Structure 1
Amino acid sequence: MASSISPEKLGAKIVEWYSCIVSREVEQAEEYKQEIGQLVNQLERSDEKVLSYYSLVLFRHQLLTEDVQQKRVEPTYLQAINAETTVYDGLLAFLYYFMSGQYEFYEGRYQSALRLYKIAEQKIDHVHDQSEKAEFYFRLGESYFRIDQYTFAVSYLEQAIDLFEEQQFYLERILNCRLLLAAIKTELNLFDEAEKEYQSALADATPYPTTHALLLRALGLNRVRQRKLYEAEMYFVEALATGEHAQSIAGMKTMADLANVRLRQNPNNEQAIALLQEAKAGVTAIGNEEYIVRCAITETLYINEGRDERLTSELQRLLEREFYTEYSELAEEIAEYYKQQSLFEKAFYYMKEALHYRTNMKILGSGAEQQ
């Protein structure tokens, strides 16, 4: 007969597991997950608070390992949580809204993610782990970045860096923050400043292949922004050859971006066409709406030589999901395509669309901060 475990001892084990997740010690976190999964079945008496804590930490683990993002598991943690118990416990309430916000973020619902994060922020005093606070501020900054609210993004990212610097062994998370700060400078067309930040972070990222690859990918996107497509191609190729980037969700996006820049340079590139189809299959399998549309538009422009009806329908999919920043970026790319074809009326229309939604995104983002 299996021995039982008290809620108090199980709770202490979950704290240790959670600490590994926060510090991104994947192998040790996986060991705790297996052990605690068995201990839950040996709980000597039901305890809603401990079971809610277990469900939230399990979901956090699944986010760390990309099980949720890659649809390997269903996010059933919400159903396992007793909301009445959770809402009266400050730390559990924080985790509940933080995890719910992260799920919304990974589903591409950035405004919804921010609304949940702002509720979690009201519970931040219940969080005593400084590294967890830093992680939360990083996620807030990341969300504001995705809706073009750069002032708020910078503020939260700088808070995250300050807190991470107080802890040991968090250089990789600081690099992630610096990556976003450099990306903001890229979006503001401060390319020289962005380049210094990227190269400085890249020099420190060698021991961290996951982040090293993300920095290379970011440098590729930086070059796309400057329309230096060959340089972008080189960075994307290097990113895909680094660590396990090619097997990650970010790697699927990099494959799609690499196919895009190659086809923009040479629409007859057979390798790029095959790569695009591979990327398309990957993002379709995980339901990544943004990159499903990006792949479709790349295919429409550079392989099928532009079909207005399909371009319109694909862009409409972005609007339906409130992907306004992505809409703006793709409308700008379409405008450039038609400009190169000397179809100036169409180019003007799509450039006007790009400017309209980029402006609207800033207004909508301001609204999110007020909510």
Structure 2
Amino acid sequence: MNQTIPSSHVGVKINEWYKMIRQFSIPDAEILKAEVEQEIQQMEEDQDLLIYYSLMCFRHQMMLDYLEPVDKYLHRPTTTELLKKIETSQKKLSGMLHYYSFLFRGMYEFSKKEYLKAIGFYREAEQQLFHITDDIEQAEFHFKLAEAYYGMKQSHVSMHHVSKALEIYNQYELYKVRKVQCLFVIAGNYEDFKCYDKCLPHLEKALELSNELQNARLISSALYNIGKCYGEMENFEKAEKYIEKSVRISDQAKLNNLPHSMFTLAKYLFKQGKSKCAAEVSNKGLAIALQQGDGLFVSLQQYLKALYIDAIDQSGVKNTIQYLEKRKNYSYVEDIALDTATVFAKANEFEQSHFYYQKMIETQNQIQRGECLYEI
């Protein structure tokens, strides 16, 4: 007869498992996950711990979704399936479990580019933050807020949170992945401030750390971000070279950031007048976005087709803007309104150009007022 294992023992092991998840140490996290699953079968009944286990399975899968090829763990429940399981237990949550459920749900919404929803869940998590005494968990919370506010172009708020997160991560050697991600957010905010001289050194440091880690996802992201910075400086030729490298790595490793990279590469090719090559990249990017179920980049690739291939199909452009505004993805609205206005201006269609410049200014005002963060 097997001896019953105390739930406190399993709880300690789940905490160790979570530590490996936060360090993005996939082999160690996989070992601990397997051990926890085995011990839970022999554990004394503890409903709170079973919920904690379900939350950690969800967080574990989000780690894999970020770092691993999209088809590597097809035999496991998806984050969406795991989320449904957690939500059925929502009424039973309290204290620390409430905190993790809101934090992880916010991370899930962020991964779907639903930035407003993500911030809403992070704010709910913040109400339970007093239950959390661990330094690294405090850093995780600040990093996640920084990332979401960056996505909404709330740059000053994002910088406040990312500096707090990085200050903690810098005290620990084992959190290099998070340090790299913090550098991405800092650089992205500097890019939004148009401080490109401050942006590039952070990205070059991120690339150096990513190469040390030999992490394909981080290397591809670092190359992408360097390329995007050069693109913002309108050095499209240099931008193209970096983003091509990023696309190659993501394609070989079958990473879920590939639709994003292919959209930006196609956009910069179109801007250089390399229409044939750009159309090929855009079509491939659209196919991959459809395959991955990435609605945002399906819509954005359709926008490129409407603007550059279909000789400015305004209904296609407006469909994408409506899609983005509905989801409050204002940073993309700002970018494509400017690009559309520029294309119309080059075609001497000044009335239409003015319309899209006005759309860009209207969107910038929404971002600056912070209206995009609230449901009224």
TM-score (norm 2): 0.89
Match of 2:194, SS state, is coil
Task: Using CA pairs under 8 Å that are at least 6 residues apart, name the structure with larger relative contact order, 1 or 2.
Answer: 2
CA distance in 1, matches of 2:105, 2:135: 20
Instruction: Select the residue among 254, 260, 264 that pairs with 2:267.
Output: 260
CA distance in 1, matches of 2:294, 2:153: 20
Instruction: Select the residue among 61, 76, 83 that pairs with 1:77.
Output: 83
Instruction: Select the residue among 215, 221, 230 that pairs with 1:223.
Output: 230
CA distance in 2, matches of 1:245, 1:162: 34
How far apart are 1:353 and its partner, in Å? 0.3
Corresponding residue number in structure 1 for 2:6? 6
Q: Where do 5+ consecutive residues of structure 1 fail to align? A: none
How far apart are 1:343 and its partner, in Å? 1.7
Corresponding residue number in structure 2 for 1:206? 211
1:187-227 residue CA offsets vs partner (Å, 9 max, x unmatched): 11112222233234334432133323212111111122222
Corresponding residue number in structure 2 for 1:33? 33
Q: Which runs of 4+ in 1 moved over 6 A?
A: none
Q: Where do 5+ consecutive residues of structure 2 fail to align? A: none
Q: 1:46 to 1:37 in 2, by over 3 A?
A: same
Q: Map 1:32-111; keep pairs closer than 5 Å.
A: 32-40=32-40, 42-66=41-65, 73=78, 74-80=80-86, 82-87=89-94, 90-111=95-116
Corresponding residue number in structure 2 for 1:158? 163
Instruction: Select the residue among 268, 279, 282 that pairs with 2:288.
Output: 282
Match of 2:148, SS state, is helix
Corresponding residue number in structure 2 for 1:342? 348
Q: 1:127 to 1:257 in 2, by over 3 A?
A: same
Match of 1:205, SS state, is helix
Corresponding residue number in structure 2 for 1:248? 255
Q: 1:287 to 1:243 in 2, by over 3 A?
A: closer
How far apart are 1:102 and its partner, in Å? 1.0
CA distance in 2, matches of 1:163, 1:141: 14
Match of 1:46, SS state, is coil
How far apart are 1:243 and its partner, in Å? 7.2
CA distance in 1, matches of 2:206, 2:330: 29
Q: 1:172 to 1:305 in 2, by over 3 A?
A: same
Q: Map 1:106-145; keep pairs closer than 5 Å.
A: 106-145=111-150
1:125-178 residue CA offsets vs partner (Å, 9 max, x unmatched): 322332222122111001111111111100100000111012222233222112
CA distance in 2, matches of 1:298, 1:101: 30
Q: 1:278 to 1:246 in 2, by over 3 A?
A: farther
| Mean Cα deviation higher: 45-54 or 240-249 | 240-249
Letter in 1 for 2:57: L
TM-score (norm 1): 0.90
Letter in 2 for 1:8: S
Corresponding residue number in structure 2 for 1:24? 24
CA distance in 1, matches of 2:199, 2:262: 23
Instruction: Select the residue among 322, 328, 340 that pairs with 1:322.
Output: 328
Corresponding residue number in structure 2 for 1:310? 316
For the aligned residue pairs, the C-alpha RMSD in angstroms reads: 2.6
2:250/2:258 contact within 8 Å kept: no
